[in-house]
Structure 1
Amino acid sequence: MMKEWIDHYLNYLTNLKQYSKLTIKTYSNDIEQFYLYCKKEAFDSYDQITYPHVRGYIVFLHDHDLSNLSIRHHISVLRCFFAYLLENDVIKANPFALVSQPKITKKMPEFLYYDEFEALIDSIDLSKPLGKRNRMIIELMYATGLRVSEAINVKLADIDFAQGLIVVKGKGGKTRYVPFNPICQQYMEEYIEDTRKELMENRNEAHPYLFVNQYGGKITERGVYDMLKKVSLNSPLKKKVHPHMLRHTFATHLLDQGADIRIVQEMMGHADLSSTQIYTHVTMDKLKKTYMSAHPLANKSPLKGKDKD
C-alpha cells in the first residue's frame, strides 16, 4: 500500500498540479529512495514513521555523502508528500513538519566582466550558420537573463519586436515579460530571416521554436551546455562558461549600472527577493575592490600615535 500512495501522489502532481516532467522525475526519485529505506527498516505503513525515524533517515543521507543542498531538497519533497498523506487521512501527523533544514553556504555566483563577455562573443566564427546561431543564443541569454530551459522554449510567436519584449513561461508555469535591447533585436531578426531558415532547409516538418540544432530541430538544454563549453574553451577566456553564468552576468551587470533590484527580480522570474539579493554581494565586492585600487588613501597605513585631527 505504501507504493500505491506514491503512485497516487505522482499522479496528483502530474494531473492536478501540472508539474513538469523533470520535477515529477525528481520527486519520484527522492520519494522512491525514502520508500526503499522504509522497506529496509521494516516499515509497513507511513503512519509508523515518527520524527526520530525521520532524523535517522537524514543521518542515513549524510552517511551517503549527500550535500546539505541535496538533503534540503529531500526534506522538502518528503514534507510535501507527507502533507498529502495527512490530507488524505493516511497518517495522523506529518513527521517532516518539525524537521529543520540543514544550513547551506551560498556560493557567490560566477559571472563575466563585460570585456570577458565581449571576448567570448568576438571569438565566434560567424562564417557558418551554427556560429551565427551560437552567437544569437548567447546574445539573447545575456540580454534577457533567461534560464536555459526558458531560452530553448522561446517560440517565434512569443517575441514582440514592436515592443521589444519576450513572453517567457518560467518555473511553475508562471508567465512574465522580459525586454531585450536593440542590438539583440537586430541579431534576432537577422537570425530568424536567414540563419534559422538555412538550418531548417533539410527538415521536412516545421516547428515554432526560435533556437534550432544543426538538423533544424529544437535545440536541447544539453545542446546549449555543450555549445557554450566549446565556444568558451576556444575563446581567449580559456575557461568553461555555462548557461547560468550568462544569467548571473545579466543580473550583475544590471545592478552594477544602478538597476532597481525589484525590477531585476521581476525580469529574472525570482519568486523570492533573497534569490536576487545575492547579486548585490557581487556588486558590492566589485565596488570595494575598485575603491581599494583607486582611492589615494586606501592602501596607506593607519595613523599611529599622532593627532588625527
Structure 2
Amino acid sequence: MPDAESSRWISTFLDACAADQGAARNTLLAYGRDLMDFADWLGRKGHTLAGADRLAVEAYLVHCDAQGLSKATRARRLSSIRQLYRFAFDEGWRADNPALRLSGPGKAQALPKTLTEAEVTRLLEAARRRGRSPAERLRDTALFELLYATGLRVTELVSLPLAAVRGDPRMILIRGKGGKERMVPLSTPARAALAEWLDHRTAEDEAARQAGRATSRHLFPGEGRDGHLTRQHFHSLVKDVAVLAGISPSRVTPHVLRHAFATHLLAHGADLRVIQTLLGHADVATTEIYTHVLDDHLKDLVLTKHPLARKG
C-alpha cells in the first residue's frame, strides 16, 4: 500500500484535475489506478512519490513492459506520473520533475485542446449576456475577458484579491502555484470589463458598509470557504457560457481557455519564452507543446510566399 503522503498527493492531484481541467470521471479513475499502482510499486521497493528519482521511474516503466502491458497503457501511465510530478513541482512539494525528460513507448504526445479565435469571440459575447442580473453579467464578462487576456490558472483567477486590480493597472501581480509571483499585462477589453465590474463592486461595498456588513477582499466574492468564487462554480459557469455560445460544452473548460490564450499568442508571433513567463511555466519544455499551432502557418508560408510557389 502507498504511504500516507503518497496517497495525499494522488488525492489532491485528482481533485485539481477535476476542478481545473474538468477531467471526466473515467479519466480520473484511470489516473488514480495508474498512480496507485506506481506508488504501490515504489513502496515495495522502499521508495515514495516524494523521494523517487528518474531511475526509479525508469525502473517502473521497465516493470510495466515486463508485465506485457500495451504501449498505449505504458504511455498513459508515464503521462499520469509526469502530470502528477508537474503538479507536485508547481505546488512546491518537489524541486524537480523526475519524469519530465523520459520518453514514452512510441505514443505521440497529445496536443492541448484549444479553440479558434472565432470560438473565443463567441464565448466572450455569450458571457456578456448569460447572467440573470446586470451584476452577474458584469462579473461573467470580467471573468472571461481576464482569463483570455492573461491565461491565468483557474485558481489564480477566482482567488484574485481586489487590491491587485485597483487603479486601472496595465499589469497585475499574480501569485501562482508554489507562491511564485509573475506580472501579466491586461488587454484593453480586459481593463474595460474590470473597470465596469469594479464600479459595481465599489457601490456594493459602500452599501454593505452602511448596512454594517463585512466586505470581501476578493475580486470575485463567493460563498465558498475561502470567500471567493470556487473553481467548481466557475467550471460550471464556463459550461453554461459554452452552450449559450453554440459550442459543445465538452470542448470548453477554464484550462482550454488558458490553452487558447497561449496558442493564439504563438500563432501571432509571440516569443515562446514570453509565453512561458506569462503562463508561469517553470520549464520552457512545458510550453513547447504549443508550437504545433505553427504547422499550418508555416505550410501556408511555403505555399504562398516561396518564389516557386504555384499560382492558384
CA RMSD of aligned residues (A): 4.8
Other-structure match for 1:120: 123
Name the aligned partner's letter for residue 133 of structure 1: R
Distance 2:60 2:132 in 1: 62
Distance 1:175 1:34 in 2: 32
Q: Report deviation, 1:175.
A: 1.0
* TM-score calculated relative to the size of structure 1: 0.65
Q: 1:62 to 1:118 in 2, by over 3 A?
A: same
* TM-score calculated relative to the size of structure 2: 0.65
Q: 1:197 to 1:294 in 2, by over 3 A?
A: farther
More helix by share: 2
Counterpart contact for 2:162–2:219, Cα < 8 Å: yes
Distance 2:214 2:67 in 1: 50
Other-structure match for 2:143: 137
CA shift digits 1:103-160 (9 cap, x unpaired): 4522233333322222222223166222322221111010001111221221112336
Q: 1:59 to 1:175 in 2, by over 3 A?
A: farther
Q: Report deviation, 1:236.
A: 3.2
Distance 1:173 1:29 in 2: 30
Higher relative contact order (CA 8 A, sep 6+): 2
Counterpart contact for 2:41–2:60, Cα < 8 Å: no
Matching of residue 244 in structure 1 with residue 255 in structure 2: yes
Q: 1:22 to 1:138 in 2, by over 3 A?
A: same
Structure 1, gaps ≥5 residues long: 79-95, 302-309
Larger Rg: 1
More displaced stretch, 69-78 vs 148-157: 69-78
Q: 1:290 to 1:203 in 2, by over 3 A?
A: farther
Aligned 1:1-309 pairs, distance under 5 A:
6-7=3-4, 22-23=12-13, 33-34=37-38, 36=40, 46=46, 55-56=62-63, 62=69, 68-74=75-81, 102-103=104-105, 104-124=107-127, 125=129, 128=133, 129-159=135-165, 161=167, 163-194=169-200, 205-213=214-222, 217-239=227-249, 240-289=251-300
Q: 1:250 to 1:196 in 2, by over 3 A?
A: farther
Q: Any idea what SS the aligned residue of 2:178 has?
A: helix
Q: Any idea what SS the aligned residue of 1:250 has?
A: helix
Distance 1:203 1:213 in 2: 19
Structure 2, gaps ≥5 residues long: 17-31, 48-55, 86-97
CA shift digits 1:149-202 (9 cap, x unpaired): 221221112336454122112233211111112221121121122168659969
CA shift digits 1:32-83 (9 cap, x unpaired): 65565689xxx5x728xx99787436766948x85624434448979xxxxx
Q: Report deviation, 1:220.
A: 1.6
Q: How many residues align?
A: 268
Distance 2:15 2:245 in 1: 36
Distance 1:60 1:257 in 2: 46
Counterpart contact for 2:152–2:279, Cα < 8 Å: yes
Counterpart contact for 2:148–2:260, Cα < 8 Å: yes
Q: Report deviation, 1:206.
A: 3.5
Distance 2:64 2:193 in 1: 52
Query: Quick one: percent identity of the two aligned structures?
Result: 28
Q: Any idea what SS the aligned residue of 2:246 has?
A: coil
Counterpart contact for 1:61–1:71, Cα < 8 Å: no
Distance 2:204 2:166 in 1: 23
Distance 1:269 1:282 in 2: 20
